[in-house]
């Protein structure tokens, strides 16, 4: 009996030690998720977590943890856009909705963030990760922001990324296709940086149009973004940590 108790004690200590050695993973694994309801479907995989907005037939938010090695892998894009097989056809955008619409099939989680896995690369082309973006936004300012986030992985252990369209008052949006896929007026990114055993956060709102303005002009605090889009980011962190990091409007050191 004494040996059994000693063995159990050692197992408990080992588990506690291993948990303490995984601060980066904790960022993604502890994040709160939106429950499934009549507006949202919660879609989970090893690649992405998506809060899918049924009325607008696109993601309300996409969440993943980004690390530098994820952007330097061997996977190659095949541009194989297709509906997400997890979503009923009546609730999903279709390729025909985007055809000749005048809008790009814009990624929310970019394919270039998924080069570590061919499975994740291919999954990024499911229409559950796609939103109608103007060519100027998708190939211009939005692309610049995506590239900047990847550069930031060089100086951070990880970045927890939330990204999506701003979908308030969806009934007032224009739409494309017979599926009436909403055309958002703007997109956001909320970023939780982890480095040197500490967190800090920054957010962006990008209009669905091209802009030559520097990315710093679109930066804002996470607190401001939450007010704008009605979502609660990073609620898995302690309240004191949230209050400290979510009120900061910019981090000049990021741009050096």
pLDDT at residue 43 is higher than 70: yes
Which sequence positions are flagged as catalytic?
Answer: 107
- Predicted confidence at residue 159, as pLDDT, reads 97
Domain boundaries, the chain: 31-67+134-255
Torsion angle, CA of 9/29/42/136, rounded to 10 degrees?
-170
- What residues form DSSP beta bridges with 193? 159, 200
Q: Which two tokens stand for residue 149?
A: 């986030």
Alpha carbons within 13 angstroms on the beta-carbon side of residue 145 total: 31
DSSP 8-state secondary structure symbol assigned to residue 35: P
> 155-178 pLDDT, tens per residue?
999 999 999 999 986 778 999 999
CB atoms within 10 A of CB 209: 15
What would the mean pLDDT of 18-31 be, rounded to a whole number?
Answer: 31
Domain 31-67+134-255 has CATH 3.30.470.10: no
- pLDDT, averaged across the chain: 86
Name which of 67, 256, 59, 65 is nearest 157 in CA terms: 67
Q: What is the largest CA-CA distance in the chain?
A: 74
- Residue 216 CA, chain-centre distance (Å), reads 19
- Alpha-carbon distance 54 to 56, whole Å? 6
Measuring CA to CA, how many Å separate 52 from each of 31, 61, 127, 139? 17, 7, 10, 24
Overall residue count recorded for the chain in this entry: 256
> 101-151 pLDDT, tens per residue?
999 999 999 999 999 999 999 999 999 999 999 999 999 999 999 999 999
- Predicted confidence at residue 171, as pLDDT, reads 72
This prediction has a pTM of 0.84
């Amino acid at each position: 009996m004494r040996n059994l108790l000693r063995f159990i004690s050692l197992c408990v200590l080992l588990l506690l030690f291993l948990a303490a050695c995984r601060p980066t993973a904790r960022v993604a694994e502890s994040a709160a998720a939106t429950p499934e309801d009549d507006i949202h479907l919660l879609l989970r995989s090893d690649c992405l977590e998506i809060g899918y907005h049924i009325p607008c037939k696109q993601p309300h938010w996409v969440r993943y943890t980004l690390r530098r090695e994820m952007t330097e892998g061997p996977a190659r894009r095949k541009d194989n856009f297709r509906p997400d097989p997890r979503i009923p056809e009546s609730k999903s955008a279709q390729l025909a909705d985007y055809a000749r619409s005048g809008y790009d099939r814009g990624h929310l989680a970019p394919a270039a963030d998924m080069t570590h896995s061919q499975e994740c690369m291919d999954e990024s082309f499911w229409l559950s990760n796609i939103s109608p973006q103007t060519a100027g936004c998708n190939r211009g300012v939005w692309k610049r922001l995506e590239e900047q986030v990847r550069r930031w992985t060089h100086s951070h252990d990880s970045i927890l990324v939330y990204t999506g369209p701003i979908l308030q008052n969806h009934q007032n949006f224009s739409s494309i296709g017979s599926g009436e896929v909403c055309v958002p007026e703007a997109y956001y990114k909320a970023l939780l940086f982890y480095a040197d055993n500490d967190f800090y956060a920054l957010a962006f709102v990008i209009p669905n149009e091209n802009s030559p303005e520097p990315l710093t002009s679109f930066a804002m605090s996470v607190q401001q973004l939450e007010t704008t889009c009605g979502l609660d980011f990073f609620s898995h962190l302690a309240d004191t940590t949230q209050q400290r990091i979510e009120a900061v409007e910019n981090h000049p050191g990021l741009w050096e």
